[in-house]
A and B are shown apart, each in its own frame.
Chain A
Amino acid sequence: MADYGIKISKSGFPVLTADKNDQIFNSEANSLKIWATGNVNISVSAASGFGTATVAHNLSYEPFFLVYFKLKHASKLWFQDSQDDSRLLANFNSGMVNTDSTNLNLRVNTDEASDWTATAYYIIFIDKAYE
């Protein structure tokens, strides 16, 4: 088979000899491609201890994704399962997410005494979570 394709190496590495780890792009190797980005509010109930939301991705398979959560305390965006840092103990404000072939399924757990609203910032990739 003919040797063809596109390679771009990192600065300082000759493209003809650079290892794949020292390449920015190689047409032989798949790259994560972004399908959708955005954010969604999640109403979190003190009574139930959680809130949920879904994001339809309109892909017919389970995609790779990343989600970051704005929780009740502080304006930081927290990675999945990270807990809000306002209290050290018994702090159960945290976000979780999974996907199926239709939606991202988001859930925020809480032990707050009153209702509040979380926001999830998501990146959905075209690439499948598995082949």
Chain B
Amino acid sequence: MSDYGAKVSQAGYDVKTAAKERLVFSSKYDTFKVYVTGNGTLTVAAAVDPFTPRAGTVTVAHNLSYTPAYFVFVDNPVWATAGKLSPYTFRSIGATHNVANFACDSTNIYITFYNPDSTASHDYEYRYYIYYNELA
């Protein structure tokens, strides 16, 4: 088969000889393609007690017929500063649940927050990216 396609190398590297990790783009390799993004805030009621957190879930329909790659940023107003977003869920302490869990299936993405604070409700901020790239 003939050798064809498009490549763009990083500045300072000859596109004809550059290693694959020195390419900005190559039509030989798939890329991450954003399908939809969104954001919002979810209020979760105060926990019954420190070991019985309340939960709330944001469900976002993606209308793809497969399970896509996704990325979620959330904040942690309970153990950290509100508005500071992380792409990783905040791990649990002791027997209490993670502050957030992220999941996806062929219909929706699910962003679930748990409030372990029995003294107050909290507003959880989230931002999500859903990609065209298929996981399963």
Are A and B bound to each other? yes
CB closest residue in chain B, given A35: B29
CB contacts (< 8 Å) of B69 on chain A: these are 66, 68, 123
C-alpha spacing A22/B54, complex, angstroms: 39
Is A16 positioned at the interface, with any CB of B under 8 Å from its CB?
A: no
Set of chain B residues within 8 Å of A29, measured between Cβ atoms: 24
Top 9 A-B pairs, shortest CB-CB distance: A76-B103, A82-B101, A79-B102, A33-B29, A34-B30, A27-B8, A121-B135, A81-B89, A78-B103
Return 16 A-B CB contacts under 8 Å, by A number.
A6-B8, A30-B24, A31-B24, A31-B31, A33-B20, A33-B29, A70-B136, A81-B88, A83-B97, A88-B52, A88-B97, A88-B114, A89-B51, A89-B97, A123-B135, A127-B21
Contact pattern, B 108-124, Cβ under 8 Å of A = 1, otherwise 0:
00101010000000000
Chain B 15-44 residues near chain A, CB threshold 8 A: 20-21, 23-26, 29-32
Contacts of A91 in B (CB 8 A): 97
> Is the Cβ of B136 less than 8 Å from the Cβ of A89?
no
Q: Complex formed: what's the CA distance from A68 to B72 in Å?
A: 12
Q: How many residues of A contact B (CB 8 A)?
A: 39
A77 and B105: CB pair below 8 A?
yes
Where the two chains meet, the residues of B that have a C-beta atom closer than 8 Å to any C-beta of A are: 8, 10-11, 20-21, 23-26, 29-32, 51-53, 55, 67, 69-72, 88-89, 91-92, 95-98, 100-105, 110, 112, 114, 133, 135-136
**Cβ contact within 8 Å between A88 and B53:** yes
- From known contacts A68-B104, A77-B105, A82-B89, infer whether A89 and B95 are also in contact, taking CB-CB under 8 Å: yes
A90 within 8 A of B: yes
Are A25's CB and B105's CB within 8 A?
no
Complex contact B31–A90 (CB within 8 A): no
Give the residues in chain A near B21, CB-CB below 8 Å: 59, 61, 126-128
With contact pairs A32-B32, A74-B103, A77-B135 given, residues A88 and B55 touching in the complex (Cβ less than 8 Å): yes
Tell whether, in the assembled complex, residue A78 and residue B32 are in contact, meaning their CB atoms are under 8 Å apart: no
Can you name the residue of chain B whose Cβ is closest to the Cβ of A131? B21
Please give, as numbers and ranges, the residues of chain B lying within 8 Å of A98 by CB-CB distance. Answer: none
Residues of A within 8 A of B105 (CB): 75-77
